[in-house]
Amino acid sequence: MNKVLQINLGGYALTIDEDAYQHLATYLDNIRQRLSGREERDEIMRDIETRLGEIISSRLGARAIVSLSDVEAAIEVMGKPEDFGGEESSASSSKSSEKTPRHHGRRLYRDESDAVIGGVCSGLSAYFGLSDPVWIRLIFILLALISFGFWVPAYLLLWILVPPARTAAERLAMRGEMPNVENIVREVEQGAERFARRAEAFGRQAGVQLGTSSGNLASGCLAFVARFFKGAAIFLAIMLVTVLGTVWVAGTIAFFTARPSISFLNPLPTEAAYLGFVNLFFLVGIPVISLVIWLMRIIFRFQAPAWLGMGMTVLWVLNLISLSGLASWAAAQYQEEGAVTRTLDLSQMTSDTLYVRLDPKTAPSSFHENDDLDIYLHPRQWRVSVPRIEIEQSPSGRFEGAYTLYARGSSEAAAREYAASFSLDATLSGNTLTLPGSLPLKKGGWRAQRAEVQLRVPVGKYVVFEKGSHRRVKANYADAIHSVKDNPGGVFQMTINGLECTYCSASNTDTESSEPVEYFILKGTLDVDITHDENFGLHCPDNTPGAEKISVVRRGRTLVLSAGKGNTPIRCSIHTPVFTSLVASGQGQVSIRGFEEGRSSITAKGPVRVRGLYKSDDLKAVLDNKATLELIGEGNQLEAVLSDGARLEASTWRVESATVTAANGSRASVHAEESATVRSDASSTVETTGQGAIRRF
C-alpha cells in the first residue's frame, strides 16, 4: 500500500502516490542544483513545473492518481538534468536530442517581446517560421491601404483574440520547438537577455535607471502609455495615408480626365493651370510620402537620409507659395462685374398672347434642368444655362423686351468686354418668342457669365410659357398661388396687381412638393381627406364628376380649393406634414387625420361636416350655420364658439380644460379633466363629461 499526496505542480492540482512524488522531487532538486549559479533559476523552475504539470495532466485521462510511470514518461519528454548545463554533458545531450525531436506542432500566440503595437505580426511571423516579422508587418500595411482602412479592425480583432506568449513553454510552442528542460532554460536565458537590452535602451532614452520597485512600476506605466499612443499614432497615420493617398491618386486621374475642359474654364494661361496642378500634386503628395517614411522608420527601423526631411519641407513651402500666387491671380480675374443690355425687338407682335419657348437644339437635357446649375457640358461644349426671365408690366401698352448679359473680370471695363463677347440669339415668329436654351462658352472664356431676359407685358394681355422656359421665370403674381413654375403651358394675364392665371390645366390638381401646406380654405361642395405625410401632395381624380370645375390656388403655405356650382361633392385627397388651420364653407365633408400639433383651428360655416382624428395641444373651433364638427383625440385646451344650429361632438376628445360658447339652437358635448367653462343661451345645449369642475354662465 502506497501513500498518496496532494500537490500543486505549476498550477496543476494533482493527487500523486509517494513513489512518484519522491522521483519527481528528486528530479526537480537535481535541476535546481544544476541551475544554482543562474539568476533566472526561479523563473526557469516555474516554467519547468508548469510544463511537467501540463504533461502529467494530459496523461492521466480518467485516472485520479499520478503513478511513477506517469512521472517517468514526463521526465522522458522534458529531458534529464545531465542533458544540459555544461560541456561534460555534450554526449548525453546529443543522445537526448536524438530521442526527442526539436520541433513539434506550432501554436499561435502574440509575441510581445518583439512587438511594435500588439505583437500580432511578430507572433504570425513565428507561427509561419519567418525569421523577420517585417514582411508580415508590410503585408498588414498594404492590406490596410488597399482596403481603405477596413483591414485595421482585423488587426484589432487578432490583438484581442490571440493570447500573448507569456511563459517560456508558450514562446517555444509559438515557434514550434519542443518545450523540454533544455529549450526552456535556453529560452528563459535569451528572454532575460532581450529584456535587459530593451530595458537598457529604454533607460538611456528616458534618462532613468531601473533598480527599485517604484522605478519598475513607473517605467512599466510609461511603457504602457508610450505603446498606447504609439499604436494610436500609427493607426491615425495609416488612415491619413489612405485618405490623402486616395485624394492624391483620384485628383491626378481627374486632372488628366478633365484636361480638355481646362482651356474653357481656366481664366489663366494653360501653362499656369498645369503649374497649379503640379503645386497641388506636391502639396498633397509630400505629406503622404512623409507619413510613409515615418511609418517605415517606426515599423521597419528604416532611417531616411538627414537631408530628405529638410528638402521635402522646402519643396512643400515653395509649392504653397506658388499655388497661393496662382490663386490670387485667378481670383483677380473675377473681382469686378460688368453688364451689357440690349433690346429684344417685339414690334411685330400683333396678337394679345405671347408664347415663350426654348430652342430645343440648345435646351439642357432633363439631367441638367436644375435652376441652380449655371454652367454644364452640352454635349461636348461648356455652356451657360438657361437665361432667367423676368416679367414686368409694360408702361407703353405694347409688348417689349430686352436682355442683359453679365460677366466678371479684373476691371469693370474688362467685365463688360467679356459680357459683350457672347450674345443671346432670340427670334420672334408670329406670336412665339424663341429663346436659346443655353449660351456657348468660348475657349478660356468663362467669367461667370449669366443672362437675364426682361419681358414687359401690357395690362390685359396674356403670356404663355411652354415647358422648359417656365423654370426660369420671375414675376409678381396677383394671387401668389398659380405661378408659372408650377403651371407650364398655363395662360397668365397681366393685371394691375401682377400676373394671374386665367387657365391652368385641370391636370395640375395633381401635385407633389417638398414645400408643406398648413392652411386650408375649402369652398363649395367638396369631399376632402387631409392626412399626415412627409411631403405635400394634392390629388383630385379626373373621373370625379365636376373635377374639371375645381379651382386650385396656392399662396405659399395656404391652399384654396374652390368647387363650381353643383350638389355632387368633388373628392380630393391632400397629404401634408403640418396642419394649422381649416376654413370650410359650403357643403360636403372634410376629414383631418394623423397629425400631432401644438396649436390649430377649425372654422366651418354652412351644412359642412368636419371630422378631426388627431392631437392638438390648443384647438380653437368656430362653427356657424348648421356646421358639424366631430373630434376624436386629445389635447390640453379646447375653445369652441357655436351659433345658428351648429353642432360639436367632442366627448371623445379628452382635454384638460374646455371653454364652450353656444347660441341660437346649437348643441355641444365635451370632455374636460380639470375644468370646463360653458356659456349658452336658453335655446342651446352643452353637455360635459370628465372630472373637471364646471362653471356655467
Taking 80 as the threshold, does the pLDDT of residue 355 lie above it? Answer: yes
pLDDT of residue 681: 93
Spatial separation of the C-alpha atoms in residues 457 and 75, rounded to whole Å:
112
Q: Give the pLDDT confidence score for residue 87 in this predicted structure.
A: 43
| Coil, helix or strand at residue 204 | helix
Could you please state the CATH topology (level 3) that the domain comprising 503-696 is classified under. Pectate Lyase C-like (2.160.20)
- Residue-wise pLDDT for 414-453, tens only, equals 888 887 877 778 888 888 888 887 777 665 567 777 888 8
- Looking up cell 522521483, which residue turns up? 23
- Under 8 Å between Cβ of 351 and 428: no
Q: Provide the H-helix boundaries in 100-176.
A: 120-127, 134-146, 152-161, 168-175
Is-contact 452 528, C-beta < 8 A? no
DSSP calls for 88-122: GGHHHHHHHHHHS-SB------B-GGG-SSSSHHH
What secondary structure letter does DSSP report for 389?
E
The stretch 91-113 carries a mean pLDDT of 57
DSSP lists the bridge partners of residue 676 as 658, 694
Q: Cell numbers 351648429 correspond to what residue? A: 646
Query: Domain ranges in the chain?
Result: 4-99, 232-332, 336-493, 503-696
Task: Quote the pLDDT of residue 165.
Answer: 81
pLDDT in tens, 244-290: 667 767 777 766 666 656 666 667 777 787 788 788 878 877 877 77
Task: Write out the H or E segment, with its range, that includes residue 610.
Answer: strand 609-624
DSSP secondary structure, 481-537, as one string: SS-TTT-TT-EEEEETTEEEEEE--GGGGSEEESS---EEEEESSEEEEEEE-SSEE
Chain-centroid distance of CA 488 in Å reads 37
Query: What are the strands, taking DSSP E only, across 378-442?
Result: 382-384, 388-393, 400-409, 427-429, 432-435, 439-440
pLDDT in tens, 491-547: 888 888 888 877 664 444 555 556 788 999 998 888 999 999 888 888 877 555 554
| pTM more than 0.75 | no
Question: Under a CB-based contact definition with an 8 Å cutoff, are residues 423 and 363 in contact?
Answer: no
Contact yes or no for 335/410 (Cβ under 8 A) = yes
